[in-house]
Chain A
Amino acid sequence: MSLNRCLFALAFCLMGAAGSVRGAELSGRVVAVNDGRGVPGSSVTLTYGAGAAGPKAITVFTGEDGSFRFPANAVAPTAGSTLQASKLGYQQVTPFAVDGSRANVKLALEPTANIAASVPASAWLANLPPSTAKHVVMANCADCHQFPSPRVREYAAKIEAVRGGPEGDAKALGEWRKVVRHQAWRTVVSYMKSKHYSIFPDESPASLDSVDWETVQNDQYTFWNDRMGDLIAKYLAENFPHSTDSMVPDGYALGAPLGSTAATVIREYALPDTSLVREAIFVPGSSYIWGADTYKNQILRLDPETGEQKWYRVPYQGSTGPHTIVGDSSGLIWVSMVDHNQFGRFDPKTEKWTLWTLQPSGLKSGNSMASAAVVHDIGIDSKGQVARDGTGKIWLTLLGTNEMATLDTASSDVAFYKPTQVPGLSPVNHMLYSVVLSPDRRCAWFSQVNAGIGCLDTKTKKVEFETTFAEGDGPRRMATDNAGNLWIPLFGSSQVAQYDTARHKIVATFDLPDRAATPYAAAWDERRKALWVSGANADVIYRLNPATGKFTVYPLPRHMAFIRQISIDDKTGRLVSAYGNYPVGSGPSMAVTIDVGN
Chain B
Amino acid sequence: MNHNTSIPKLLAALLGFTVSAMAAELDDGQARVLFNTKGCNGCHAIEQMHLAPSFRSISVRYAGASADTVDDLAQKILHGGAGNWGLVPMISNPGVTPAEAQAIATWIILLGHRTVDGGPQGK
The contact of A183 among B45, B88, B92, by CB within 8 Å, is: B88
Contacting pair A194 B120 (CB below 8 A): no
| Chain B residue contacts of A162, Cβ below 8 A | 82-83, 87, 89
Contacting pair A194 B42 (CB below 8 A): yes
| Chain A residue contacts of B87, Cβ below 8 A | 162, 164, 179-180, 183-184
Within 8 A of B (CB), among A158-199: 158-159, 161-164, 179-180, 183-184, 187, 190-191, 194-195, 198
A210 touching B91 in the complex, CB below 8 Å, given contacts A162-B82, A163-B83, A191-B51: no
Total contacting residues, chain A, CB less than 8 A = 29
| Chain A residue contacts of B48, Cβ below 8 A | 213
A187 to B83, CA, bound (A): 12
Contacting pair A198 B120 (CB below 8 A): no
| Chain A residue contacts of B106, Cβ below 8 A | none
Q: How far is the CB of A178 from chain B (nearest CB, A)?
A: 11
Contacting pair B33 A202 (CB below 8 A): yes
For the complex, is B64 an interface residue (Cβ under 8 Å from A)? no
Contacting pair A164 B83 (CB below 8 A): yes
For the complex, is B66 an interface residue (Cβ under 8 Å from A)? no
For the complex, is A207 an interface residue (Cβ under 8 Å from B)? yes
Q: How far is the CB of B64 from chain A (nearest CB, A)?
A: 25
A589 to B94, CA, bound (A): 17
For the complex, is A437 an interface residue (Cβ under 8 Å from B)? no
| Chain B residue contacts of A164, Cβ below 8 A | 83, 87
Q: How far is the CB of A167 from chain B (nearest CB, A)?
A: 16
A207 touching B36 in the complex, CB below 8 Å, given contacts A158-B80, A158-B82, A194-B41: yes
The contact of A184 among B36, B43, B89, B119, by CB within 8 Å, is: B89
A256 to B83, CA, bound (A): 42
Contacting pair A208 B36 (CB below 8 A): yes
| Chain A residue contacts of B32, Cβ below 8 A | 209
Within 8 A of B (CB), among A18-66: none
A208 to B83, CA, bound (A): 25
Contacting pair B119 A194 (CB below 8 A): no
Q: How far is the CB of A325 from chain B (nearest CB, A)?
A: 26
Within 8 A of A (CB), among B54-91: 80-83, 86-91
A211 to B94, CA, bound (A): 25
Interface string of A267-285 (1 = CB under 8 A from B): 0000000000000000000
The contact of B89 among A159, A207, A213, by CB within 8 Å, is: A159
Contacting pair B89 A155 (CB below 8 A): yes
| Chain B residue contacts of A154, Cβ below 8 A | 92
For the complex, is A413 an interface residue (Cβ under 8 Å from B)? no
Within 8 A of A (CB), among B16-39: 32-33, 35-37, 39
- Identify the 5 closest CB pairs spanning chains A and B, nearest first: A194-B42, A158-B89, A162-B83, A209-B36, A212-B120
Given contacts A187-B51, A191-B42, A213-B48, 7 further A-B contacts (CB under 8 A): A151-B92, A155-B80, A162-B87, A164-B87, A183-B87, A187-B88, A208-B41
What are 5 inter-chain pairs, A to B, with CB distance below 8 A? Answer: A151-B91, A180-B83, A180-B88, A202-B36, A207-B36
